[in-house]
Amino acid sequence: MFLDWLKGPYRPPTRYQDPELSARLSFAGFMTVDEVIRLLESEISTRREEITRYRDRNLARDPALPFDHTPGNFVGTWEHETGAAGNGRARRGVRDVAAAVAGRGGFGCPARHPWS
């Protein structure tokens, strides 16, 4: 059952902070290099699609209740930019891991590591 989950289809969640990718990667030793790369490529592809989809979305708010747009828009923009920056860092990190796994090196691991 464990390997069914580990090697089964991975559907990246809408929140890049979700722990499933990290959980699966922590058991990468039970997967082939191609399976790890496939997992990482799925994550990278989904994050690229999200960036394309949400990059230019309208973040304006028009609530029915009294609303001060100055701090509301400032905080909303800050949340969006912070989330986008975090997504970018996460995506770059996943891309770096994928490149290292594909090249079987660049891990910064001790010499005893078989891919070093």
Query: Over the stretch 59-111, which tens digit does the pLDDT of each residue have?
Result: 676 777 787 777 877 887 888 788 778 777 877 888 888 888 877 554 454 44
Domain extent listing, the chain: 19-103
pTM to 2 decimal places: 0.62
Other beta carbons within 10 Å of 113: 10
Report helix, strand or coil for 16: coil
Q: Which of 24-33, 62-71, 107-116 has the lowest mean pLDDT?
A: 107-116
Q: Write the CB contacts of 112 (distance below 8 Å, at least 6 apart in sequence).
A: none
Q: Where are the alpha helices (DSSP H) in 1-68?
A: 2-7, 20-25, 33-54
**Arithmetic mean of pLDDT over the chain:** 80
Angle formed by the axes of helices 69-103 and 33-54, nearest 10°: 160
